[in-house]
Structure 1
Amino acid sequence: MAASKDVVRGLIERHGTTYAEQAGINLRDTPAPLYQLLMLSTLLSARIGSDIAVAAAKELFTSGYRTPKAMREASWQDRVDALGRGHYRRYDEKTSTMLGDGAQLALDRWKGDLRRLHTEADDLSDVTRLLREFPGIGSTGASIFCREVQGVWTDLAPYVDERTAKGADKLGLPTDANELAKLVKPADFPRLVAGCVRVALSKNLPDDLR
């Protein structure tokens, strides 16, 4: 157990930045940051590097598209241009359409507030089902959203998806969500999950964790 906690400490310190933190999202249980996380999850769902997806999200935020209303009111070309400035070029036109349609869905069904989605859902599987109704959010995007939101939607915690478990296994850590969660304080669990995901995406175990 002591060895596992040493690994966890190093993992969080060096690789525990969540995608939301990387994109500059101050994640709270309020409408704007929850929508921004949904937008980021959409961008991360494509077959494109996570750094590019994060850069594109930052560019969309800088352009003022931080809420469903702002995203819906932006022109299709404005969204394409913002994605292009973030180097999200392979999927920019398709993604511009998905972001516009997703913003409209958020407004029409949830009044722009994803807390309403959370309240409507009966459990984790229901949350993921509702998330997948948004254009561009499949199982990957729903997993990304749940991994990161569990720090504020604490009823979803501890949440571990297949990618998190893969990273934990590479590090010799428990792959069961409850067992993995025992290694950290609840507030640190999303960062532990983020670190495991980054390890899972690495071809080799990072040198500083060997």
Structure 2
Amino acid sequence: MGKTDGAVLDALLDRYGRTYAREAGIKLSDQPKPLYQLLVLATLLSARISGQVAVAAARELYAAGYGTPKAMRESSWQDRVDALGRGHYRRYDERTATMLGDGAGLIVERWKGDLRRLRDEAGGDDRRIASLLMEFPGIGPMGADIFLREVQAVWPQVAPHLDKQVLDGAGKLGLPRQARSLAKLAHGGDELARLSAALVRVSHDKKSVNDVKSAAAR
């Protein structure tokens, strides 16, 4: 790592290196409950709505007790709508409430409520995992990428998962735009997930790019 890349990386992680899972209060580990909570978050983040609103809605769902597939499936549609509304996730609340209920049913029936079974069915291959994830209502290619970017912190099988948004953010900061070269800048899966989240944030915000470059030049 060159001095310039190192300074940019330090500034980037210091300012924007929070995973979306952490913001949503998920203590991510390779266990069924937090993995399911991450899937819920990826579903919410997939809509055309701000990341802050999606995170707030996820927190409300978990606070209401819907942090497991069984609890989500057993909740009423109206209860899910109400929780999403408390998180100001109102534009897509009714449709999303339906998708979350259906998705909870799918994971219980097919993978016994455990996304590790999905991972194992896919042989740990990130493309096959993405394909299976897209069987969940509300999860398309973007949602699968969101899940894989975050889960690489605890699923080393899928790392490095650096999609176009991440690489676009890297390019704006002058960091390597090749996945392998960029991955070498991170120390372990947790930092890779933080780096991915940070680069997604700066890919949408020119002010953040300037902020990181200015801090790195000091």
TM normalised by structure 1 equals 0.98
Report if aligned partners of 1:170, 1:205 keep a CA contact under 8 Å in 2.
Answer: no
Q: 2:200 aligns to what?
A: 197
- SS of the counterpart of 2:176? coil
- The aligned residue for residue 20 of structure 2 is 19
Residues 74-127 of structure 1: CA deviation (Å, up to 9, x unaligned): 000000000000000000000000000000000000000000000110311100
Identity %: 59
Listed as ranges, the matches of 1:36-115 within 5 Å are 36-115=37-116
Distance in 2 of aligned mates of 1:197 and 1:146? 13
CA shift, 1:181, in A, is: 1.4
Preserved contact between residue 69 and residue 112 of structure 1 (Cα < 8 Å): yes
Task: Flag structure 2 segments of 5+ consecutive residues without an equivalent.
Answer: 214-218
Shift of residue 208, structure 1, vs aligned partner: 2.3
CA contact under 8 A between 1:160 and 1:176: conserved in structure 2? no
Q: Separation in 2 of the partners of 1:203 and 1:177?
A: 22
CA distance in 2, matches of 1:170, 1:208: 12
User: Where does residue 181 of structure 1 map in the other structure?
Assistant: 183
Task: Name the CA distance, whole Å, in 1 between partners of 2:76 and 2:139.
Answer: 21
- 2:8 matched to which residue of 1? 7
- Given residue 67 of structure 2, which amino acid in structure 1 is its aligned partner? R
Amino acid at match of 2:197: A
Tell me the TM-score normalized by structure 2: 0.94
**CA–CA separation in structure 2 for the residues paired with 1:207 and 1:124:** 33
CA distance in 1: counterparts of 2:145 and 2:96, whole angstroms: 19
Distance apart, 1:206 and its partner CA = 3.7
Secondary structure at 1:112's aligned position in 2? coil
Counterpart residue type for residue 209 of structure 1: V
Shift of 1:183: 1.2
Residue among 147, 163, 166 paired with 1:164: 166
Q: Distance in 2 between matches of 1:139 and 1:158?
A: 17
Q: What is the aligned length? A: 210
Worse-matched range after superposition: 171-180 or 141-150: 171-180
Q: Distance in 2 between matches of 1:124 and 1:146?
A: 7
Secondary structure of the 1:102 match is helix
Amino acid at match of 1:163: Q
- Stretches of structure 1 that go unaligned for 5 or more consecutive residues are none
Does structure 2 conserve the Cα–Cα contact (< 8 Å) formed by 1:168 and 1:174? yes
Over the aligned positions, Cα root-mean-square deviation in angstroms equals 0.9
Runs of 4+ residues deviating >4 angstroms: none
1:208 corresponds to 2:214: no
2:36 maps to 1:35: yes
